[in-house]
Chains A and B, each alone.
Chain A
Amino acid sequence: MAEHGVVVHLDRLLEERGMTLTELSERVGVTVVNLSILKNGRARAVRFSTLSALCEALDCQPGDLLGYAGS
């Protein structure tokens, strides 16, 4: 987990929706590399535009995608 304590549940959501990272990348317009950074907890910040695009593509709320596990 990164030092900020925010957890990204992208793996779980992709599995639930039967979507691959590459498909998600094509839908939201974010590179696979950056999505991997997000998925693996190495991102330091997420733009609202990216978060909105992810929520639309995954049909979820930000709270479904992000969690907080403490620092």
Chain B
Amino acid sequence: MRPQPNPPSNTVHVAGRLVTAAFWFVIGFGAVIVVSIALGLARHGDSLLYGDTLGIPVQLSPADAGRLPHGFRVEGPVDASFTLNDPTTKEMLLRSAQDLGPLALMLAILWQLRGFARSVVGGDPFGAANVGRLRRIGFLVVLGVPIVDILNAPLRAALSDAVPSPPGIDVSVHGFTLSLNTLLVGLAAFVLAEVFAYGSALREDVEATV
């Protein structure tokens, strides 16, 4: 470990522990999802996480949102939820499978963040390893989030078959959306990677100065 001119602050130590705790929490939640699916298979749709009811996110058209006081109006589709009682095994699987993609993505990002936090706590942040981690986080966010959404879209559509279409009410499911915020976070990670690459080069110059 390189000598540290300024030892990491307590804030950095706390942040490192929080990232590690988040990582293990997500691992634990992943185990719960697996157990939930197994129980759901054994109990014909009655999973641990969702039980004998499934909340299916849907969207209603503004016209179906109900009467509002004068001056109020609904902008765009309204997010709602349909409660499906006694889901079948297939319906349970369709819902549970939608959790796996985000879980894997979050684990991958937290794994990179954990390594990054450890290097900062160890006083050695400006290295090639962290440049790589930040670039991977950028790719995971910019590409991973839309890919997970694309993979979940047919699962949502298949699950929506269980949602009734009452006469006169227009019900739809969330389609694929590209979030600008997500894109900005990913781009910020790429920019930060270049900052750390420059910092790493500067550090090497300083260390090789006698």
Contacts and interface: CB of A to CB of B under 8 A. Distances in A.
* A and B part of one assembly: yes
A3 to B, nearest CB: 12
Contact of A46 (B204, B205, B209): B209
Interface residues of A, number: 12
Nearest to B208: A44
Contacts of A38: 210
A50 interface: yes
Interface in B192-210: 204-205, 208-210
A45 B208 CA distance: 7
Q: Main SS of chain B's interface residues?
A: mixed
Nearest to A50: B210
A17 interface: no
Contacts of A46: 209-210
A30 B204 CA distance: 18
A43 B210 CA distance: 7
A42 B208 CA distance: 7
A46 B205 CA distance: 11
Contacts of B210: 30, 34-35, 37-38, 43, 45-47, 50
Interface string B129-147: 0000000000000000000
Max chain A Cβ within 10 angstroms of own Cβ: one of B204, B209, B210: B210
A29 B182 CA distance: 52
A50 B209 CA distance: 10
Max chain B Cβ within 10 angstroms of own Cβ: one of A42, A44, A46, A47: A44
Contacts of A35: 210
Interface string B167-210: 00000000000000000000000000000000000001100111
A42 B210 CA distance: 10
B58 to A, nearest CB: 63
Interface string A13-34: 0000000000000000010001
> 8 closest A-B pairs (Cβ-Cβ)?
A44-B208, A45-B209, A38-B210, A43-B210, A34-B210, A46-B210, A50-B210, A43-B208
Interface of A: 30, 34-35, 37-38, 42-47, 50
11 contacts: A37-B210, A38-B210, A42-B208, A43-B209, A43-B210, A44-B208, A45-B208, A46-B209, A46-B210, A47-B210, A50-B210
